[in-house]
Structure 1
Amino acid sequence: MRTRAPSLRRLSLRARLLLIGVAGVAVALALGSAALYGVLVVTVNHTIDAEARASAADVVALVDSGRLSSPIPVAGAQVVQVVDGSGRVVSASVNADRLTPLLRPAELRQALAGQTTEVPGARAGVNGPLRVVAVRAGPAATPVSVVVALQVGDVTQSQRVLLRTLVLTYPLLLLVLAAIAWRVIGSALRPVEELRAGAERISGSGHDERLPVPASADEIHALALTLNTMLDRLDAARERQRGFVADAAHELRSPLASMRTQLEVAERLGEGGELPAELLVDVARLTRLVEDLLLLARVDSSVAPPQQDAFDVVALLTEVADRYAGSRVPVSVAPGAGPVPVRGDREELRRALTNLVDNAVRHARSRVLLAATAPAGATVLTVTDDGPGIPEALRENVFERFTRLDDARDRDAGGTGLGLAIVRELVRRSGGTVRLLDADPPPGLRVEVRFPHAR
C-alpha cells in the first residue's frame, strides 16, 4: 500500500513560507545563473571572433595591395593561412602548416558564409581547440581565402570552471538562503506566536487578560487591537450573563424558601392532602438548582485564585463518606490508605466530592467506593460505583451544563444537570483534572480526580 506524501497544509506556516520562498529563489537563481553563463560565453566568443576578423582584415588589405609576404606577420598565437581556389596554401604565418589547409572544403565554405568554426588544435600542432574565421580576398578572377584561427583552449577551460562553480555553489547558496529565511520568517511570525500563546493562556485561565500588542504599526498590530476589542465585548457579554444568572438565582431563593415553609406547614397540618408532599419534592429540586446556579456564577466571576492549603485528602474522604451513612447504598473508603497530601481549597474539594458521591449513590446498584492514591508526581482521588456506567462517547458531554443522560431523567431522583459541571470547575480552580473511566472490575463507573503532587 502506497503512502501519500504529507500535504503542504499539514506543515506549519513558517515551513510553507520557507518552501515557497526557497522555491522562488531556486528558480530565480537557476535562470540567473543560466543567463549569466550564456551571456559570458557569447561575449567572450564575440570578442575572439572580432579579434580574428580584425586580423583577417589586415591580411586582406595586404593581399589586395599586392604586398602579401611569406611568412605572414601575426601578433600573438594566431594561425593564419591564405588558400587559393584550388585549396593550396599560398602563404601562411610562421606557426601555420604551409602544405595542408587548416579547414576542409566543407568547413571553409561554412566559414566563408559567416559561420564561426571550431577545429581540433592538432591540425596546427597546438593543444586545445581553434576558433576559425575566413574571409575572401584578391581579385574576382583569382580569389583567395584568408583563414585566421585563435587558440581557445584556455577560454573553454575557464568556461568549464565557471559552469562547474555555478553548479556546485548553487545548492550551498540555497542552503544559506534557506537558513537566513528561516530565521527571518521566524522573527516575522514571532508576534503571531505571542498572540496564539496569549489566546491559549486566556482561554485556559479564564482571567480578564488581553493579548500582547506588538510595537510595530503593521497588520499584526491591527489584528491584536481588533482581537482585544473582541475580548472586551465578550467579557462584557459574559459579565452580563453572569450577573443575570446570579441575580435570577438570588431572587428565586426567597420565594422558594417561602413556598417550602408554607408547604411544610400545610403538610404538618394535614391540609391539601398529598399535594404538599408532592410539591415539596419539586421545590427542593428547584432549591438545589438555584444553589448550583449561584455556585457556578460565583465560580465564573471569581478572578482571585482559590485558597491553596495542603491537607490529608483521606480524612476528607472519610468525612464525606460519613455523611452518607444512611444512604440507599453504602459509601466506604478503601482500607489501608495512609495520609495522602493534596493542595487546594478544602471546601471546594469537599463540594466536588459531594457532587460525585451524590451521582454515584443515585446510580449504584450495591456500593460506592472512595479511594486516594499518590503515584509519582500526582495525587489521585477516585469515586467508583457499580451502576450502569456511562458510554465512552458521552463521557465528555456530561460535563457540560444542564446535560442529563436518558437514564437520569427521573424528575424526583435525577440531578439538576449541573453537578459534574460544578465538579470540573472546582477541580480546575485547584489545578486538577477530572475524567470518567470504566470501573475495574466492570460494570460501573470510576471518576478519577488528579491533582499535582503537594510538596
Structure 2
Amino acid sequence: MSLPLPRVRSIRARYTLVAAALSFVFLTVVGAYLDVVTRYKAESEAYVETERVATQWSAAVRDGSVPRVIPTSSRVDLIQIIDADGHILGASRAASRLPPLTHVRPPPDDRFKSLEECSPDGKCVMLMAIRDTPAKDSPFVYAGLRVPPLLTDHWLEAAITACALPVLILVTLMTWSLVGRTLRPVEIIRARMSEISGTDLSLRVPLPPGRDEITMLARTANQTLARLEAAVKQQRRFASDASHELRRPISGLRTGLEEALLYPDDVEPRQAIREALATTDRLEAIVDDLLVLARLRAADPEPPEQLDLGALAAEVAASRPVRPPVFVVAAPGVLVRGYRIQLIRLLENLLANAQRHAATGVRIQVRAEGGQAMAAVADDGPGVAPEDRERIFTRFVRLDDARRREPGGSGLGLAISREIAQTHGGSLRVEDSPKGARFVLRLPCVPCVPGQPVGPADGR
C-alpha cells in the first residue's frame, strides 16, 4: 500500500520544485547529448588518424622500406607490422615490447577494419587494421592509440554531472529567491488585510512599485476598501438619521396614547385616534422609503429594458393630480435602458415635489443633449437657494418650506430619486432657472434620434 505524498501548499515551494524538475530534465538531456557527441567526435577523430597512419605504413610495406623501429610523428604511437604467421616484422618504440595488438586479421575482401581492443587490466586501444594485399601471405599493418582516460570508466559522465550539478543548484536557489521576492508584496498585503476590521476600514494596503499584476491587485484592493469604507459610513450615517427620524414620530405617538390613557376626561378619543393614525401614516411612509433605498442597493431581479423617456414622462404626468397642471414637451426617440418601476418612481417624486411648490403649473422637458437623455422638471414656485441645492438630496433633510407644505413627508423622496439616477449611471441635480426650481435628470442614452420637441401636451 503506497502512502500519499504530502501536498506542497506554498506557492514559492511549488514553483521552485517545478523549476528544479524542469532544469533537471533539461540538464539531463543536454548532458546525454554532450556525452554522445563528445564520444562520437573523439572516436571519429581517433579512427581517422589511425587509418591515415596505417595507410601510410601499408604503402611503405609494399615498397619494402619499413624500418625495424617505426618512427612516430603523431599521437598514434602504437604501430605494428605482422606477417601471416603472427611474427612482428616492425613496430614503433611504444609497441615494440608489446605482444601483437590484436589477433584480428582482415579478410582479402575487407582489407580495412577498425576495432577496439581492451587488455585484462582495463586499458583499451583504438586500432585500424589493414591487410596489405589480398594475397594469402599478405602482412598486416596495425596502427592504434590508447583510449583517452576521459572516455573510460565513465569519467566523461562524471565531468558532465559535476558541471550540471552547480547549474541545477543555482537555478533552484534563483527560483526560490525570485519567487520569494515576487510574492513578498503579497505577504505584505495579506498582513495588512488581516489588520483591517469592520470597525476601522481606513487602512490601505501598500502599493508595490511598477505596474504588474500584484500592483494592480493592490490598487483594486484599495479601491474596494475605499468603496467599502464609504458604504459603511453611509450605512452608519443612514442608520443614525433613520433612528433619529423615526424616534420623533414614535415618541409623539407614545406621548399622545399615554395622555389619552392617563387623562381620558381631558383628551377627546376620536381626535387622539386621528393623530395616532396620522403619525402611523408618516411612519409607514418613512419605512416604505427606507425599503426602497435598501432595494436600490440590491440586484434587481428583472433585466433592464429599453424605454422611451418622453413617453414615460407623459405617462407619469397623466397619473398626477390635475392641479397644478403638468405640461410635457418631449422630443421623439429619447431612449434609455433601465428599470421601468424605478424610473417611474423617480419621475413621480420629482413631479410630486414640483407640484407641491408650484404656483400655477409644472413643465417637463425631455430631449437628447450631448449624447445623453435629459429630463428637466421645472416649477414656478419659490425655488431652491443655491446653498441648499445639494443639501436637499441628503436623506431626511427637509427645508422649512417643505415642512410647512407637507408636514407628514419622510424627507427621502429626493434622496431616492438621486439614488435611482446614479443606479442607472446618470445624475440628478438642481440647475439655474429664471423662476422656481428646475430639477435636471441626465441618463446614458441609447443611440438617440435627435428631434425637435413636439408641441406642449397637457399632462391632464
TM-score, L = length of structure 2: 0.50
Residues 34-113 of structure 1: pairs in structure 2 closer than 5 A = 34-75=32-73, 78-84=77-83, 87-96=86-95, 101-105=100-104
Cα deviation, 1:348-376, whole Å, max 9, x if unaligned, reads xxxxxxxxxxxxxxxxxxxxxxxxxxxxx
Aligned with 2:221 (options 227, 245, 267): 227
Aligned to 1:148: 143
- Identity, in percent, stands at 31
Counterpart check, 1:134 vs 2:129? yes
Contact 1:121-1:130 at 8 Å conserved across structures: no
Q: Residue type matched to 1:82 in 2?
A: I
Q: Residue type matched to 2:63 in 1?
A: S
Q: Secondary structure at the match of 1:116?
A: strand
Contact 1:119-1:130 at 8 Å conserved across structures: yes
The whole-number CA distance in structure 2 between the counterparts of 1:108 and 1:156 is 30
The whole-number CA distance in structure 2 between the counterparts of 1:134 and 1:26 is 43
Contact 1:111-1:133 at 8 Å conserved across structures: no
Q: Secondary structure at the match of 1:118?
A: strand
Cα deviation, 1:115-143, whole Å, max 9, x if unaligned, reads 43232287xxxx83222122333466764
The whole-number CA distance in structure 1 between the counterparts of 2:84 and 2:227 is 99
Aligned to 1:180: 174
5+ residue gaps in structure 2? 288-460
Contact 2:201-2:229 at 8 Å conserved across structures: no
Residues 155-304 of structure 1: pairs in structure 2 closer than 5 A = 155-156=150-151, 160-167=154-161, 171=165, 173-203=167-197, 206-270=200-264
Number of residue pairs aligned between Structure 1 and Structure 2: 273
Contact 2:20-2:168 at 8 Å conserved across structures: yes
The whole-number CA distance in structure 2 between the counterparts of 1:27 and 1:118 is 35
Distance change in 2, residues 1:184/1:145 (3 Å) = same
Contact 2:12-2:176 at 8 Å conserved across structures: yes
Measured after TM superposition, the shift of residue 20 of structure 1 is 0.9
The whole-number CA distance in structure 2 between the counterparts of 1:48 and 1:111 is 20
Aligned to 1:339: none
Q: Secondary structure at the match of 2:127?
A: strand
Counterpart check, 1:6 vs 2:1? no
Q: Residue type matched to 1:192 in 2?
A: V
Cα deviation, 1:409-438, whole Å, max 9, x if unaligned, reads xxxxxxxxxxxxxxxxxxxxxxxxxxxxxx
Measured after TM superposition, the shift of residue 19 of structure 1 is 0.9
Cα deviation, 1:202-247, whole Å, max 9, x if unaligned, reads 3466322222111122222222222222333333333333333222
The whole-number CA distance in structure 2 between the counterparts of 1:205 and 1:27 is 53
Contact 1:137-1:145 at 8 Å conserved across structures: yes
Q: Secondary structure at the match of 1:105?
A: coil
Aligned to 1:414: none
5+ residue gaps in structure 1? 291-455
Contact 2:107-2:131 at 8 Å conserved across structures: no
Measured after TM superposition, the shift of residue 22 of structure 1 is 1.3
The whole-number CA distance in structure 2 between the counterparts of 1:184 and 1:59 is 63
Distance change in 2, residues 1:213/1:194 (3 Å) = same
The whole-number CA distance in structure 2 between the counterparts of 1:27 and 1:108 is 47
Cα deviation, 1:127-166, whole Å, max 9, x if unaligned, reads 8322212233346676443211212264446x74443344
Measured after TM superposition, the shift of residue 252 of structure 1 is 0.4
Measured after TM superposition, the shift of residue 261 of structure 1 is 0.6
Q: Residue type matched to 1:4 in 2?
A: P
The whole-number CA distance in structure 1 between the counterparts of 2:108 and 2:119 is 18
Q: Residue type matched to 1:180 in 2?
A: M
Q: Residue type matched to 2:79 in 1?
A: V
Measured after TM superposition, the shift of residue 92 of structure 1 is 3.1
Cα deviation, 1:50-103, whole Å, max 9, x if unaligned, reads 322221122122134332333333346722223445655444334436996422
Q: Residue type matched to 2:116 in 1?
A: T
Aligned to 2:25: 27
Q: Report which of the two has the higher share of helix.
A: 1
Contact 1:115-1:133 at 8 Å conserved across structures: yes
Q: Residue type matched to 1:233 in 2?
A: R
Distance change in 2, residues 1:222/1:51 (3 Å) = same
Q: Residue type matched to 2:101 in 1?
A: L
The whole-number CA distance in structure 1 between the counterparts of 2:232 and 2:198 is 16
Distance change in 2, residues 1:41/1:110 (3 Å) = farther
Q: Secondary structure at the match of 2:179?
A: helix
The whole-number CA distance in structure 2 between the counterparts of 1:110 and 1:101 is 22
Distance change in 2, residues 1:211/1:39 (3 Å) = same
Q: Residue type matched to 1:81 in 2?
A: Q
Distance change in 2, residues 1:178/1:255 (3 Å) = same
The whole-number CA distance in structure 2 between the counterparts of 1:114 and 1:156 is 21
The whole-number CA distance in structure 2 between the counterparts of 1:205 and 1:258 is 34
The whole-number CA distance in structure 2 between the counterparts of 1:18 and 1:110 is 61
Aligned to 2:325: none
Contact 2:114-2:127 at 8 Å conserved across structures: no
Measured after TM superposition, the shift of residue 263 of structure 1 is 1.7
TM-score, L = length of structure 1: 0.50
Contact 1:121-1:151 at 8 Å conserved across structures: no
Q: Residue type matched to 1:116 in 2?
A: L
